[in-house]
């Protein structure tokens, strides 16, 4: 199971999370805000490597890492490591741009979800012919994730939307590479499946993906029920109150 890009992104997110916990005001220096973008355009990317530190460990970071591995186990093997990392990075930037354009210039956003959504929709584009079960399963996850972002306060659906659009474009472009479609087919229908070693590896990978899928559904169901109960009880909250920042900082 060779997924160096997935490992690299995971390591980067974990390192930055540790720095967030150790250095005061570091997170605020990385968050993207419309009022800062012109003079500090690097925030469009830096905001994607920091996460909410309200809970320890961060549920925000853990959910993004879970999705990263759920997608990375398959997508990176299909498109290659360099393209995989590029899709993630472009998705982060696209999510930040969408957030800046669609929200107040003083509001901020942070999190890797723009990149995660880009990976999800890129994989959907690659799988849209063949592998129907995998396509349907991933499509359901993406829809649930997006609806959660729309319905839950404090979550940047704008960042999710921007990342998703970037993934559609880049995933569609990747389909023009013959080896991408060939690898996509091999991921499910390769003659190498007769090799016991390959079979064991695929069983392990499928098991990991199934566990991740169950965990993802559980997280989103729990979050949705929790949000509905708070709404019914008249509780109003934002990520700003969670992170003790003002104006609003949304997670993505």
What is the residue range of 113's domain?
Answer: 4-251
Nearest Cα neighbor of 125 from 165, 179, 72, 90 is 165
23-79 pLDDT, tens digit per residue, is 989 999 999 999 999 999 999 999 999 999 887 778 889 999 999 998 998 899 999
Per the CB < 8 A criterion, the answer to whether 31 and 109 are in contact is yes
pTM of the model: 0.75
70-114 pLDDT, tens digit per residue, is 899 889 999 999 999 999 999 999 999 999 999 989 988 999 999
Per the CB < 8 A criterion, the answer to whether 204 and 1 are in contact is yes
Q: How many domains does the chain have?
A: 1
231-252 pLDDT, tens digit per residue, is 455 544 333 323 333 355 667 7
CATH of the domain at 104: 1.20.1540.10
Give me the percent of the chain exceeding a pLDDT of 90.
44
CB atoms within 10 A of CB 11: 10
């Amino acid at each position: 199971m060779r997924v160096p890009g997935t490992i690299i992104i995971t390591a980067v997110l974990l390192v930055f999370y540790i720095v967030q916990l150790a250095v005061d005001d570091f997170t605020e220096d990385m968050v993207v805000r419309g009022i800062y973008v012109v003079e500090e355009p690097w925030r469009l990317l830096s905001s994607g490597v920091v996460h909410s530190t309200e809970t320890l460990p961060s549920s925000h970071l853990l959910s993004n890492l879970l999705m990263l591995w759920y997608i990375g186990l398959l997508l990176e093997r299909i498109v290659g490591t360099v393209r995989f990392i590029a899709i993630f990075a472009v998705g982060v930037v696209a999510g930040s741009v969408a957030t800046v354009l669609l929200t107040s210039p003083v509001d901020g956003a942070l999190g890797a979800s723009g990149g995660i959504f880009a990976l999800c929709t890129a994989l959907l584009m690659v799988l849209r012919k063949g592998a129907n079960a995998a396509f349907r399963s991933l499509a359901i996850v993406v829809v649930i994730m997006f609806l959660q972002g729309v319905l839950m306060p404090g979550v940047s659906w704008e960042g999710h939307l921007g990342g998703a659009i970037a993934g559609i474009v880049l995933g569609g472009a990747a389909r023009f590479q013959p080896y991408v479609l060939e690898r996509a087919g091999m991921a499910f229908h390769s003659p190498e499946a007769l090799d016991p070693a390959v079979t064991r590896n695929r069983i392990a990978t499928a098991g990991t993906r199934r566990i991740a899928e169950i965990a993802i559904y559980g997280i989103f169901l729990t979050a949705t029920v929790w949000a509905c109960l708070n709404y019914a009880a008249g509780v109003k909250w934002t990520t700003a109150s969670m992170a003790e920042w003002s104006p609003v900082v949304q997670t993505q």
